[in-house]
């Protein structure tokens, strides 16, 4: 009888432990804010002249929204729709007016597109090849340390990636460097755009409103 009671007691303990473990979900930080329905609005500013520290609003707006998911090559990607307006003059470093679509997913901390290219890396600061042509190779790499970015909707503690071009693998990068900033749980905050031969960036794109679940 005692052995039977002991066996029942042990079974109850095992069942209880199993039940408790299953009711505690494993939390996962949504660093890139990859949730259908999330939206962001960005405005562009251009440097007044080659050496100026002042920028002017050029009235080009990107309205971005995650409108759904799509199953591509056996993986689920989030579909980003960008609606660009105000670029009737087709200004450099700005998307043309109209709708544009991109697909991204979080692959173990790497934000990648449907072609497997790394757009952003949370922890790995190795150099990633974005694309190459006959005249240049474009790379991106995670910078060390965070940086505070001030916008009209608040200040954000951001990680950032640097984008730069080389004439060939292993050669010295060109002077022009672009930067892409992300804040955990909010998503993309700010970026700069540069000409390859200039150490000063020409255009800035900054967050002006967002709705993140």
pTM for this entry: 0.84
Domain count, the chain: 1
The chain-wide mean pLDDT, for the chain, equals: 88
- Please report the pLDDT score of residue 52 as a whole number: 87
Q: Which helix (H) or strand (E) holds 113?
A: strand 110-113
Give the residue among 124, 47, 127, 131 at the shortest CA–CA distance from 92.
47
Give the residue among 163, 153, 151, 154 at the shortest CA–CA distance from 192.
163
26-84 confidence digits (pLDDT tens): 335 899 999 999 999 999 999 998 788 999 999 999 999 999 999 999 999 999 999 99
How many other C-beta atoms can be found within 10 angstroms of the C-beta atom of residue 5? 9
- Please report the pLDDT score of residue 28 as a whole number: 53
Residues spanned by the domain of 42: 2-211
CATH assignment at residue 125? 2.40.360
- Please report the pLDDT score of residue 49 as a whole number: 84
């Amino acid at each position: 009888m005692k052995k039977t009671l002991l066996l029942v007691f042990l079974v109850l303990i095992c069942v209880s432990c199993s039940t408790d473990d299953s009711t505690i979900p494993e939390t996962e930080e949504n660093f890139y804010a990859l949730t259908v329905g999330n939206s962001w609005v960005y405005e562009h500013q251009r440097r007044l002249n080659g050496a100026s520290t002042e920028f002017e609003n050029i009235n080009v707006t990107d309205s971005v929204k995650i409108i759904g998911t799509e199953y591509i090559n056996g993986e689920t990607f989030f579909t980003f729709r960008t609606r660009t307006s105000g670029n009737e003059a087709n200004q450099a470093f700005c998307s043309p007016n109209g709708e544009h679509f991109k697909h991204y997913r979080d692959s173990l901390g790497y934000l990648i597109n449907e072609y497997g290219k790394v757009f952003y890396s949370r922890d790995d600061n190795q150099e990633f090849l974005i694309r190459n042509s006959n005249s240049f190779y474009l790379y991106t790499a995670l910078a060390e340390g965070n940086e505070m970015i001030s916008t009209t909707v608040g200040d954000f503690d951001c990680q950032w990636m640097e984008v730069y071009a080389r004439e060939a693998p292993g050669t010295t990068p060109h002077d022009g460097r672009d930067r892409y900033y992300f804040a955990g749980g909010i998503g993309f905050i700010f970026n700069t755009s540069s000409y390859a031969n200039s150490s000063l960036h020409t255009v800035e794109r900054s967050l002006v409103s967002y709705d993140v679940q």
